[in-house]
Amino acid sequence: MGATPAEIPGAFALYFLIPTPELPMLEQVRPRDLTQWFANATAKGAPVVLDVREPHELQLASIKPQGFALLSIPMGVVPLRLTELDPQQPIACLCHHGGRSMQVTQFLLSRGFEHVANIAGGINAWSAELDPAIPRY
């Protein structure tokens, strides 16, 4: 029996190249619409923004939790730290521009998480749409 992509070092991104038509459609939410998405999802638990950027990126620019919990897990270690996330909780994934967080969103959906969205445009869009005090890099 072969290893799954999550078990192969460096194969995290390759996993997302495998078509998975049976998964729910990936939901994209703009930062300006996140409050409404959280309001709709709150019945399912306290909302979480999962920041999947690397530690050095967090030092450059970070959001402040307002009405949601903020959890930082770099994309490459999400599979190893999956038990830190509640599959019933609404989770919105965030990265720099939305690419990595989209991959993590798809990964979470493939693992049975039901209330997951990608923050389209990432922290760059967050700065442009919600909080210009957040540095853009």
Q: Report the b/e string of 51-69 with b at 16+ CB within 10 A.
A: bbbbeebeeebbbeeeebe
Q: Please name the amino acid found at residue 52.
A: V
Task: Give the active site residues.
Answer: 95
CA distance 97 to 45: 26
